[in-house]
């Protein structure tokens, strides 16, 4: 698991965040956090096989494996039982960090990610961490 210092450095250098489970419904947490991340200067790629059109100006991907560009952070808005599959996809595409939102925990998947060289942040809201750690706005 990444320390607060490592998390801050990750958030400062990251450019692209794939948000797995992003909803096109503005009242959902995933949507508001994606909007926050965009305003902070990140490119947020929606990953959700149920989306049919752009979300926050970006065309969605059905899975991480469809993304051809480098992904710095894979932010997971799925239930804990789906994390292992997301980690496998994140490893396959060469992502740098797997980050699960508050309440999303899979210790075995975290160990698998770390063994593959990915940084891991688990059970922590990315927007809250951004604010609490004093990450500078990138816009």
Q: Render pLDDT for 11-25 as a digit per residue (tens, 0 to 9).
A: 999 999 999 999 999
Positions in the chain short of pLDDT 50: none
- Domain 4-132 CATH (choose: 1.20.120.160, 3.40.50.2300, 3.30.110.70, 3.40.50.720): 3.40.50.720
pTM more than 0.95:
yes
Query: 121-135: b or e for each residue (b if 16 or more CB lie within 10 Å)?
Result: bbebbbbebbeeeeb
Note the pLDDT of residue 123.
Answer: 98
Pair of tokens at residue 101: 């939102």
Q: Can you tell me which residue has the tokens 């990138």?
A: 138
Q: How many CA atoms lie within 13 A of 20 on its CB side?
A: 27
Residue 136 is predicted with a pLDDT of: 84
120 token code pair: 């891991």
Residue 139's pLDDT is 53
Distance CA 2, CA 62 (A): 28
Report the pLDDT value the prediction gives residue 84, as an integer from 0 to 100: 98
- Tell me, what's the pLDDT at 129? 98
CA distance 85 to 104: 13
Question: Which structure tokens are listed for 58?
Answer: 């970006």
């Amino acid at each position: 698991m990444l320390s607060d210092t490592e998390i801050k450095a990750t958030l400062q250098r990251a450019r692209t965040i794939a948000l797995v489970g992003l909803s096109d419904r503005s009242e959902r947490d995933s949507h508001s956090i994606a909007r926050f991340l965009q305003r902070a200067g990140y490119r947020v790629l929606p990953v959700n096989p149920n989306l049919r059109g752009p979300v926050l100006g970006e065309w969605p991907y059905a899975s991480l494996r469809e993304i051809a560009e480098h992904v710095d952070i894979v932010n997971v808005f799925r239930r804990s039982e789906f994390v292992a599959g997301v980690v496998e996809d994140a490893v396959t595409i060469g992502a740098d960090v797997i980050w699960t939102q508050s309440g999303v925990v899979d210790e075995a998947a975290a160990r698998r990610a770390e063994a593959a060289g990915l940084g891991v942040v688990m059970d922590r809201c990315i927007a809250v961490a951004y604010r609490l750690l004093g990450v500078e706005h990138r816009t």
